């Protein structure tokens, strides 16, 4: 039986992880769950899964969690704060860590799990966007096993040869990685109407059920840009070895093109339980609770090249990837500030890119080589982006 910590258990990835675990009670045991604002959901999960620890983000919410624990007769020990997150991610009893905390907040606990040599199911793309070299170096030193959970990276992993060596596309006979994206809800919307896009419209993804921040990123295709950066670090490939392909049906989750003309694709219904189950059971397969594709009713599969005019955030992300670690860290930080401002109706949809681009323009290029420098660049970019948002208001 494998022991699992779920970082970010109240989000969509966390809830789906617990759903898969519940289908295999003889294979997995929950050691710890963590949450930020959805304390009632977190404590309901604690009642069902009986983890040893429940971690909340700060002191403001721990009393609410303790009161709910009494009402629900939850016996789990309740902890709070960033240090507690790192402890439940690196505890000796833990075999597997689902890293599903959204945004930069997930970096330190995920890195803690990596340094402890865990199997890390990586759903937090920001960990690599912010500190790819440090993250992958730590994994090599500790022997941690990094398994991608984003549907696209999981698909690429499944399409690579089993003996694929990090960064060895040529040796494996691979020409390029084809990273697919749906294009979000505004793939065909007239560009001149983008300034009027509402929060509700941007949060209505046509295929996936996700959190609000990730859904906005999908609408701007920043999510695909962050995935582009993540893929470079995960597989050790250069930006020019990845091509982004629009595939609105989200049936093919990504592809690998080989030098002999073959293209291997991973397909499935758009349900995150498939990659989660793959990561939990690898190299075996387990039931994820996902219905198989019905090819007799499958709609046409279409593909196209994304337009940078429609998706300028995607272009920004690719350029940042080419520029280096400091630039991707800054872009991620600025985007978190910009998306939060849009969700709170402080800026327009089109101004998300404006905030991101202006933040990068205001900061001088530098090289980063330590976690402290990464966190400092994250801080500087957030402060810069917040000033830009205030100026737009």
**Which amino acids are annotated as binding site, given as ranges?**
10-13, 124-126, 150-152, 182, 205, 211, 218, 223-224, 227
Residues 6+ apart with CB under 8 A from 352: 216, 220, 222, 313, 335, 338, 339, 341, 342
CB-CB neighbours of 48 under 10 Å? 13
Binding site for NADPH, by residue number, is 10-13, 124, 126, 211
Match 């749906």 to its residue by tokens.
182
Binding site for Mn(2+), by residue number, is 150, 152, 227
Binding site for 1-deoxy-D-xylulose 5-phosphate, by residue number, is 125, 151-152, 182, 205, 218, 223-224, 227
- CA-wise closest residue to 359 among 336, 322, 331, 393: 331
Say how far apart CA 105 and CA 378 lie, in whole Å. 11
Buried b (16+ CB within 10 A) or exposed e, 166-201: eeebeeeebbbbbbbbbbbbbbeeeeeebeebeeee
Residues 6+ apart with CB under 8 A from 303: 180, 245, 246, 247
45 dihedral zone (left: phi>0; alpha: psi -120 to 50; beta): alpha
């Amino acid at each position: 039986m494998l022991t699992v910590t779920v970082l970010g258990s109240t989000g969509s990835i966390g809830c789906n992880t617990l759903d898969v675990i519940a289908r295999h009670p003889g294979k997995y045991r929950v050691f710890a769950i963590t949450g930020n604002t959805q304390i009632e959901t977190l404590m309901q999960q604690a009642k069902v899964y009986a983890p040893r620890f429940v971690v909340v983000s700060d002191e403001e919410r721990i009393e609410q969690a303790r009161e709910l624990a009494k009402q629900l007769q939850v016996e789990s020990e309740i902890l709070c704060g960033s240090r507690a997150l790192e402890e439940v991610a690196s505890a000796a009893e833990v075999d597997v860590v689902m890293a599903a905390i959204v945004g930069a907040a997930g970096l330190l606990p995920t890195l803690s799990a990596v340094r402890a040599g865990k199997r890390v199911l990586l759903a937090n793309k920001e960990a690599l966007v912010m500190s790819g070299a440090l993250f992958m170096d730590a994994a090599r030193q500790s022997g941690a096993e990094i398994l991608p959970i984003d549907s696209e990276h999981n698909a690429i992993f499944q399409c690579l040869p089993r003996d694929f060596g990090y960064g060895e596309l040529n040796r494996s006979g691979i020409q390029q990685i084809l990273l697919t994206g749906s294009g979000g809800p505004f793939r065909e919307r007239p560009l001149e109407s983008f300034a009027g896009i509402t929060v509700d419209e941007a949060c209505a993804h046509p295929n996936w059920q996700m959190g609000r921040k990730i859904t906005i990123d999908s609408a701007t295709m920043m999510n695909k840009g962050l995935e582009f950066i993540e893929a470079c670090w995960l597989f050790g490939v250069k930006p020019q070895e990845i091509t982004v392909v629009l595939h609105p049906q989200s049936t093919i989750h990504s592809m690998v093109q080989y030098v002999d003309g073959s293209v291997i694709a991973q397909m499935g219904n758009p349900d995150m339980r498939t990659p989660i189950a793959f990561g939990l059971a690898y190299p075996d397969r387990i039931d994820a609770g996902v219905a198989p594709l019905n090819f007799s009713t499958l709609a046409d599969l279409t593909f196209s090249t994304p337009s940078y005019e429609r998706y300028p955030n995607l272009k920004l992300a690719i350029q940042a990837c080419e520029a280096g670690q400091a630039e991707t860290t800054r872009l991620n930080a600025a985007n978190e500030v910009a998306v939060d401002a849009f969700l709170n109706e402080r800026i327009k949809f089109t101004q998300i890119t404006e905030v991101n681009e202006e933040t990068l323009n205001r900061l001088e290029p530098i090289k980063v080589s330590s976690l402290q420098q990464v966190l400092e660049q994250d801080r500087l970019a957030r402060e810069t982006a917040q000033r830009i948002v205030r100026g737009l208001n």
